Amino acid sequence: MATTERLRAAGGTTKRYLAALGVGGWLKLGAVVLLFSIGASSGMNILGVLSPDPSAGAIDWQGLTGPAAIALAVVGVLSYIAAVADFVFVASLRSGRLPVRSYVKANLRRAGWLLAFRAAIALGAIAIVAGVVAATVGLPPSPTMEPSHVESLLIGLAAVVAAIGWLTVGTLTNAFVVPIMQYEHRGPLSSWRRFGRAIAGRWAAVAVFLLVAVVISTVVGIGLFILSFVIWFVGGLLLVGGGVLVVENAPALEPLVAVVLVATYLGYRYAVAVLRAPVRSYLRYYALLLLGDAEPALAMINDELTGGSDAADETAPDTPAGTDSEDTDTNDTTENSEHDDNTDTDEDDTPSNQ
């Protein structure tokens, strides 16, 4: 299938998917998108707030232990919720339905494996930068020594390479590996191998997907940023200014004002997630159609969503089809292909294939 045809097919599939969900389903989908969006950004936000300032002199590492542990715990919980939401999103895209509770129950274990894989990728990116820093200025950096221009350039280049690698692996994992994990009951490493074999000889199409994803995400991001700026410039000033006046005149209402501000912010993020949901769905469908085009055994979208083409007939979002015997857990090969969406057997995502 040519790129233009695949893009057109992704648009038609997205329209049928949103129509199948209806208004209520679209609103639920916005909540799912909000969950994995918050989870994806929580690490940078929380760890950035708690990171020490090297210009402040000596760093009290013992004093940072407690806040760092709390930050890691919060990041871990939010990231796990995001992983579960990601699987729920994929299951909904494949089936055209969104029974959140059953999809959550069916993906709790594999979400743990996805979280571990994402953590390993993030640590790998951090290790690249830390290795360059250690090789240039030492770890921890001396507060009395300023890095040279060459050292700063090397550290910046390492940070750019690590960030690009992390974003690329993360995007490919979300778009291709997560669906394979769910569809064929694999772990992340096994799914990456499966993806590599399925897409062999079609890496140019994958590069086009990454380019399309970057362009569309950038354009939508800029549009939403402009809209958000206008909303927060007007509504934010009124809300914050009103909250300050209320607290000054009635200090006892400060907790209520804080709750209102947090609720307003979450409502704003939810509204943005609802607007982003069709774009997220479109890009995921583009990836799924590309994957099914490269490997027919991985055509996992419901026929009703694709208009009767580019998909394999299936009735359940967690039904495996065409698994590889050398990478799939032996227990998975004995599963009934018609098991219910609400079940998730103990054999799924065992570490034997990691």
How far, in Å, CA of 289 to CA of 1, rounded?
Answer: 9
Please choose, from the candidates 30, 47, 91, 102, the residue with its C-alpha nearest in 3D space to the C-alpha of residue 272: 30
C-alpha to C-alpha distances, 54 to 51, 103, 137, nearest whole angstrom: 9, 45, 13
CB within 8 A of 118, min separation 6: which ones? 79, 83, 170, 173
Yes or no: say if 256 and 243 are a contact pair by the CB < 8 Å rule.
no
How far, in Å, CA of 218 to CA of 200, rounded?
Answer: 28
How far, in Å, CA of 317 to CA of 181, rounded?
Answer: 12
User: 13 is written with which tokens?
Assistant: 């599939």
Q: Give the model's pLDDT for residue 15.
A: 95
Q: Give the model's pLDDT for residue 111.
A: 95
Yes or no: say if 106 and 342 are a contact pair by the CB < 8 Å rule.
yes
Q: Give the model's pLDDT for residue 17.
A: 96
φ, ψ of residue 79 to 5 degrees: the values are: -70, -35
Please choose, from the candidates 208, 264, 275, 250, the residue with its C-alpha nearest in 3D space to the C-alpha of residue 2: 208
Q: Locate tokens 């479109």: which residue?
A: 282
How far, in Å, CA of 353 to CA of 329, rounded?
Answer: 6
User: 31 is written with which tokens?
Assistant: 């909540």
User: 255 is written with which tokens?
Assistant: 């907790």
Yes or no: say if 164 and 158 are a contact pair by the CB < 8 Å rule.
no
Yes or no: say if 215 and 312 are a contact pair by the CB < 8 Å rule.
no
Q: Give the model's pLDDT for residue 143.
A: 57
Please choose, from the candidates 95, 163, 152, the residue with its C-alpha nearest in 3D space to the C-alpha of residue 318: 95
Instruction: Give residue 249's domain range.
Output: 3-353
User: 218 is written with which tokens?
Assistant: 């950038």
Q: Locate tokens 């960030």: which residue?
A: 163
Sign of the Cα torsion 25, 32, 81, 10 reads: positive
pLDDT (tens, 9 = 90+) of the chain, 354 residues, equals 678 899 999 999 999 999 999 999 999 999 999 998 886 665 555 544 444 444 444 445 566 677 778 878 888 899 999 999 999 999 999 999 999 999 999 999 999 999 999 999 988 888 888 888 888 776 665 555 566 777 788 888 988 998 899 999 999 999 999 999 999 999 999 999 999 999 998 899 999 999 999 999 999 999 988 988 888 777 777 777 787 787 778 888 888 888 888 888 888 889 999 999 999 999 999 999 999 999 999 999 988 888 764 433 443 445 444 444 334 443 443 333 333 344 444 334 444 443
Helices 254-294 and 61-95, packing angle to 10 deg: 50
Helices 203-231 and 3-50, packing angle to 10 deg: 60
Yes or no: say if 331 and 353 are a contact pair by the CB < 8 Å rule.
no
SS3 assignment, position 319? coil
Run of H or E residues at 68: helix 61-95
How far, in Å, CA of 178 to CA of 86, rounded?
Answer: 8
> How many structural domains are present in the chain?
1
Q: Give the model's pLDDT for residue 168.
A: 93
- Check: pTM over 0.85? Answer yes or no: no
Q: Locate tokens 């494996």: which residue?
A: 113
